[in-house]
Amino acid sequence: MARAASFGFLVATVAAAQTVDFNREIRPIFSDRCYTCHGPAQSTRRSPLRFDTEEGAKQKLGNNFAIVPGEPANSELIRRITAPSNSSMRMPPASAGPALNEKEVDLLRRWIAQGAGWEKHWSFIPVKPVSAPPVREVAWVRTPIDSFILARLEKDRLSHAPEASKETLLRRVSFDLTGIPPTPAEVDAFVKDGSPNPYEAVVDRLLASPRFGERMAIRWLDAARYADTNGYQTDAERYMWRWRDWVIGAFNSNMPYDRFTVEQLAGDLLPNPTLDQKIATGFNRNHRGNGEGGIVPEEYAVEYVVDRVDTTSTVFLGLTAGCARCHDHKYDPIAQKEYYQLYAFFNNLPERGNAHKYGNSPPLIAAPTPSQQRELQALEARVTAAKARFDALRPDADAGLRAWEKEVPPGTQWFSSRALVGAWTQESAPGDVASFGFLDKFTIAARVNPAGPDGAIVTRAKDEPEGAGYSVVLAGSKVQANFVLRWLDDAVRVETRDAIPLNQWTHIAVTYDGSRYASGVHIYVNGADQALKVHVDYMNQDFRSKEPLRIAAGLGTRFIGKVDGVRIYGVSLPAEEIGALAVTESLDAISAIPQATRSVAQQNKLRRAWLDQFAPEHVQSAWKRSLDVSEERERFAAALPTVMVMEELAAPRDAFILQRGSYERPGAKVNRNVPAALPPLPAGAERNRLTFARWLVDPANPLTARVAVNRFWQMYFGTGIVKTAEDFGSQGEWPSHPELLDWLAGEFVRSGWDVKALQKTIVMSATYRQASKASAEAAERDPENRLLSHAARFRLPAEMVRDQALLASGLLAERLGGPSVKPYQPAGLWKELSGGEDYKQDSGENLYRRSLYTFWKRAAPPPMMANFDAAGREACMVRENRTNTPLQALDLMNDVTFVEASRRIAERMMTEGGASAAQRVAFGFRLVMSRGLNGAEAALFANAFRYNLERFQTDAAAAARLVAQGESVRNAQLDVPELAAYTTVASLMLNLDEAVTRQ
């Protein structure tokens, strides 16, 4: 119905005398009105009759045929849809909706009379070469696009619009290609440019600008549901900005769209993948991750895979595959089984359903930026050099060690004190030390001589059973390590498989690597790494405790026996060092043992002790230097940004049809495959994500190129050729210009998926360059402007509304990429939702970065962005939403972002705009609107300036308050009432409809 409302109106008027087009006119009726019970979904089909296939619709049923080609009067379908609504014959039954209207009945009747021709759904038919249709007004055509548009306009007797003014065109194309309006100087240059192709030169300049990548990335981030938080419950921060920067870079380097697709879906499976290709796979890790305590992990493990399948289907295939999660798709040829065959491509990574509540969840990789990569390389070189320097001393050093061994004074003891937090005995009361949390690395070592099988050895935890904190205890004579926030559901507990003996001294050590997993815990007994039993492996939140460190006590227990030699380190010591630590003999005692019979650990201890304390100065310093540099490298590497990525398990995980889509109800096992209605996977290829990704961009795939060009198209015309950019299935809207869509898709593939070339083709067209004023006739006959008799006129996306204010004011801090930033936001918005931490606004440059870098918290999106219809980033979104609300008005008038920008524009008006008020206003207007003022506007602004100036001169205090808004420093040279008056005028400019509209 919505379909018929406007654009369809035109179609209907011209179609009356023509052949009925099955795909355009008949299938939508079947799909919307009949498929629920007579469609692809087997489970809800009420009879063998089905309208999604030709055989199904034309088969004999009982004594009748629903459709008798050429004979509407004998077709049961017509009888049924025209039966009275109270009749049991009536279709669709009253319970399933109203009767078909006259127009629909007439269409069906004529279609049958004309022979009831059938076609595959249009978007599943391969893209065929199309040539541009002939047109009458040949002179208007600049590119084949224009032929398609004009031919349709001529057919419908609508005229195209004249070309837009140069100012309008430059402003439009600058927003469209870079998200940033032109400066007055750029406008001047373009208007005055007398060269043969000034517009093409502008387009080339804009496509080459790094702003192009930022602009294109914005919509891709919506599609890829990119955000800076995990999205469930606590909604804590995650770090995917390296992936975001990869996207910007890919657009800027004009990466072909097929590579762009393959690398994001399966970069990790490419031969010898580069760091960038791995980062690219973050695309399918941008989905939300649930770290709420107490969830059933299996449930969310399924949701993540479902999100990947649904997002991938929407973004690349324009298919609503998600509908087939619980049952066969009701409208499109995707059986439930086929859904899970797709699912099987995406369920095979080492992930858990319970995501980390804080930060990135595995699988993840360190993703250094290019400058960090250089720094890392430099550090590696320093490590190698330091090691080499030490190794060069080695022959001498070894000789020195052998000489020193012979004269170690009796009773000399040594244990490593690098990174030592403290050393204690059983009697110690260490107090508030060794406060470690879940992201820290640490080591706890001690010697124990138990007289009983249970008791605390070292704890920093509540002194009660299962108390929160960390602890090393003896439990049933096994050495046990606990890291607990809340026992059972937020804890890690591991213990040795083997018991340690009673009544004798044993050295034990526990190391933890900050990974939040049991696999990051090692327990050593007498220097030997132990086989462990994992009791609980579900660490979610920080176990850091306010309790003191206790020796031989804690968790409500006391150690029975003796504890000694407690040493705690702020690093996770490697096995070799634990070995040395476990050696209790003094150095002279070791040296007294003949070298051949010493243990490796003993020899190690002796050597390390010598290098640490007794070697000649230059040897000691070379040794320490090599350790220092290695540690520095470790620290640097640990602080590198990470990104969540795709990674393939060696042994594929099974996939099953999930009945009703529920994790609890697995049915038949399925193998990886693509839906049968689409071309098959290449025979013999390994059935993995890489094959799937390559299949997507195979030119034989009827959907991928069409869906991609349509999404680009809607950036320039507000609406896609297929309005339902997310749905190219039978419930999607019929393309306004099907041949144009195919021409664009064909060109795109032929060009080698050249993204910049496609954008250029579109913006070079006469269609794009039209003025956006609707003629009275167009406004009446085609109010949605689907036929493009004039250019599209629509409100700027949220990002551009803010970015243009920053640019005009001179505040915009342009820098590509980096961690997300926190610009102005009213206080309390985070805190009032959670009682937890509030938004910590940045200062300085970070207040003025482009909006695509604004920190995106899913539970509380940036309010200005939300007010201006930005996508929520919870799930994939490929179509923009534009509304017009009073909240937008309040935001633009009163948000400090725009008040400060207005003041800065005012400062520019006063310092750069000339001497007179009229000149200054005109200057400001050009900054904001990229054009000159007309007379009527000038008069209104002049008046506005005058009364504001009068008012602020009378009330200087008010003026001072107004110009004090924002963090940037006010130009103190300027007269305050005057500045305030210009500030108000500038704000007026930023609030005009034209300022927030791309026209």
Partner 1 sequence: MISRREMLKSAAGTAALHTLLRADEGAAAVPDFKPSAKRVIYLFQSGAPSQIDLFDYKPALEKMRAKDLPDSIRQGQRLTGMTATQTSFPVAPSLFQFAQYGKSGAWVSDLMPHTSRVVDDLCFIRSMNTEQINHDPAITFCQTGFQLAGRPSIGSWLAYGLGSENKELPAFVVMISQGSGNLSDQPLYDRLWGSGFLPSRYQGVKFRAATDPVLFLSNPPGIDGATRRRYLDDLGALNAINQNEYNDPEIAARTSQYEMAFRMQSSVPELTDLSKEPPSTFDLYGPESRRPGTFAANCLLARRLAERGVRFIQLFHRGWDQHTNLPKQIRGQARDTDQASAALVQDLKQRGLLDDTLVVWGGEFGRTVYSQGKLTADDYGRDHHPRCFTIWMTGGGVKRGLIHGETDEFSYNITRDPVDVHDLHATILRTLGLDHTKLTFKFSGRHFRLTDVKGRVVNEVLSA
Considering only residues 93 through 152, tell me which ones interact with partner 1, judged by CB under 8 A.
96-98
Among 238, 447, 711, 795, indicate the residue that binds partner 1 (CB under 8 A). 795
DSSP 685: S
Q: Which stretch binds partner 1 (CB under 8 A): 186-194, 451-459, 800-808, 855-863?
A: 855-863
Residue 354 binds to partner 1 (criterion: CB under 8 A)? yes
Strand, coil or helix: what is 899? helix
* Separation between Cα atoms, residue 284 and residue 226, nearest integer Å: 10
Please, which of residues 764-793 interact with partner 1 by CB under 8 A? 772-776, 779, 783-784, 793
Please, which of residues 27-56 interact with partner 1 by CB under 8 A? 32
Smallest distance, partner 1 to C-beta of residue 855, A: 14
Smallest distance, partner 1 to C-beta of residue 513, A: 24
Looking at the Cβ atoms of 163 and 632, the one nearer to partner 1 is 163
Looking at the Cβ atoms of 323 and 821, the one nearer to partner 1 is 323
DSSP 137: -
Q: Assess contact for 681 and 674: CB atoms under 8 A.
A: yes
Smallest distance, partner 1 to C-beta of residue 72, A: 25
Please, which of residues 562-591 interact with partner 1 by CB under 8 A? none
Looking at the Cβ atoms of 149 and 491, the one nearer to partner 1 is 491
Please, which of residues 860-919 interact with partner 1 by CB under 8 A? 860-861, 863, 866-867, 869, 872, 874-875, 881-891, 893-896, 899
Nearest one of 253, 320, 124 to 879, comparing CA atoms:
320
Please, which of residues 271-290 interact with partner 1 by CB under 8 A? 288, 290
* Separation between Cα atoms, residue 792 and residue 782, nearest integer Å: 12
Give me the residue label for tokens 């609890």: 664
Written as one letter, the residue type at 732 is G
Q: Is 838 left (phi over 0), alpha (psi -120 to 50) or beta?
A: beta
Smallest distance, partner 1 to C-beta of residue 828, A: 6
Nearest one of 888, 815, 811 to 843, comparing CA atoms:
811
Residue 992 binds to partner 1 (criterion: CB under 8 A)? yes
Nearest one of 342, 428, 359 to 673, comparing CA atoms:
342
Q: Assess contact for 850 and 814: CB atoms under 8 A.
A: yes
Smallest distance, partner 1 to C-beta of residue 666, A: 15
Among 204, 391, 686, 832, indicate the residue that binds partner 1 (CB under 8 A). 832
Among 369, 951, 953, 968, indicate the residue that binds partner 1 (CB under 8 A). 951
Strand, coil or helix: what is 775? coil
Looking at the Cβ atoms of 42 and 894, the one nearer to partner 1 is 894
Pairing of strands 794-795, 997-998: antiparallel
Looking at the Cβ atoms of 695 and 898, the one nearer to partner 1 is 898
Please, which of residues 287-316 interact with partner 1 by CB under 8 A? 288, 290, 292-297, 303, 314
Does an H or E element contain 981, and which?
helix 976-991
Total site size for partner 1, rule CB under 8 A:
118
* Separation between Cα atoms, residue 644 and residue 362, nearest integer Å: 7
Work out the burial of residue 108: count CB atoms within 10 Å of its CB; fewer than 13 is exposed, 13-18 middle, 19 or more buried: buried
Looking at the Cβ atoms of 52 and 258, the one nearer to partner 1 is 52
Smallest distance, partner 1 to C-beta of residue 488, A: 5
Q: Which residues of 275-289 are buried (b: 16+ CB within 10 A; e: fewer)?
A: bbbbbbbbbbbbbbb
Smallest distance, partner 1 to C-beta of residue 200, A: 27
Please, which of residues 329-348 interact with partner 1 by CB under 8 A? 331-332
Nearest one of 436, 697, 660, 419 to 543, comparing CA atoms:
436
Q: Which stretch binds partner 1 (CB under 8 A): 334-342, 450-458, 593-601, 823-831?
A: 823-831
Among 45, 511, 988, 998, indicate the residue that binds partner 1 (CB under 8 A). 988
Number of residues written out for the chain: 999
Q: Assess contact for 936 and 930: CB atoms under 8 A.
A: no
Residue 355 binds to partner 1 (criterion: CB under 8 A)? no
Smallest distance, partner 1 to C-beta of residue 728, A: 9
Among 63, 934, 969, 972, indicate the residue that binds partner 1 (CB under 8 A). 934
Looking at the Cβ atoms of 592 and 887, the one nearer to partner 1 is 887
Residue 197 binds to partner 1 (criterion: CB under 8 A)? no
Give Cα 157 to chain centroid, integer Å. Answer: 45
Peptide bond into 574 cis (omega under 30): no
Among 178, 312, 320, 767, indicate the residue that binds partner 1 (CB under 8 A). 320
Looking at the Cβ atoms of 78 and 778, the one nearer to partner 1 is 778
Strand, coil or helix: what is 353? coil
Nearest one of 323, 315, 295, 276 to 230, comparing CA atoms:
295
Nearest one of 891, 935, 925 to 905, comparing CA atoms:
925
Torsion of CA 627, 630, 632, 636, to 10 degrees: -160
Looking at the Cβ atoms of 538 and 623, the one nearer to partner 1 is 538
Looking at the Cβ atoms of 654 and 993, the one nearer to partner 1 is 993
Looking at the Cβ atoms of 633 and 951, the one nearer to partner 1 is 951
Tokens for 708, please give them: 């991609």
* Separation between Cα atoms, residue 798 and residue 862, nearest integer Å: 11
Residue 984 binds to partner 1 (criterion: CB under 8 A)? yes
Work out the burial of residue 784: count CB atoms within 10 Å of its CB; fewer than 13 is exposed, 13-18 middle, 19 or more buried: middle
Smallest distance, partner 1 to C-beta of residue 16, A: 19
Looking at the Cβ atoms of 80 and 633, the one nearer to partner 1 is 80
Looking at the Cβ atoms of 504 and 885, the one nearer to partner 1 is 885
Smallest distance, partner 1 to C-beta of residue 357, A: 12
* Separation between Cα atoms, residue 875 and residue 286, nearest integer Å: 9
Nearest one of 811, 995, 972 to 905, comparing CA atoms:
811
Residue 658 binds to partner 1 (criterion: CB under 8 A)? no
DSSP string, 697-732: TSTT-SSHHHHHHHHHHHHHHSS-SSS-TT--STTS
Q: Which stretch binds partner 1 (CB under 8 A): 109-117, 209-217, 275-283, 947-955?
A: 947-955
Residue 495 binds to partner 1 (criterion: CB under 8 A)? no
Residue 991 binds to partner 1 (criterion: CB under 8 A)? yes
Looking at the Cβ atoms of 44 and 372, the one nearer to partner 1 is 44
Residue 729 binds to partner 1 (criterion: CB under 8 A)? yes
* Separation between Cα atoms, residue 317 and residue 421, nearest integer Å: 57
Give Cα 364 to chain centroid, integer Å. Answer: 14
Please, which of residues 532-561 interact with partner 1 by CB under 8 A? 536, 538
Among 963, 978, 986, 998, indicate the residue that binds partner 1 (CB under 8 A). 963
For residues 387 to 416, the per-residue mask of contacts with partner 1, x marking binding by CB under 8 A and - elsewhere, is ------------------------------
Please, which of residues 210-269 interact with partner 1 by CB under 8 A? 231-235
Looking at the Cβ atoms of 242 and 903, the one nearer to partner 1 is 903
DSSP 660: G
Nearest one of 808, 806, 798 to 845, comparing CA atoms:
806
Smallest distance, partner 1 to C-beta of residue 350, A: 20
Tokens for 619, please give them: 């040897």
Pairing of strands 478-486, 469-475: antiparallel
Q: How far apart are the first and last CA of the chain?
A: 29
Residue 166 binds to partner 1 (criterion: CB under 8 A)? no
Looking at the Cβ atoms of 582 and 962, the one nearer to partner 1 is 962
Q: Which stretch binds partner 1 (CB under 8 A): 80-88, 173-181, 672-680, 827-835?
A: 827-835
Q: Which stretch binds partner 1 (CB under 8 A): 179-187, 392-400, 726-734, 913-921?
A: 726-734
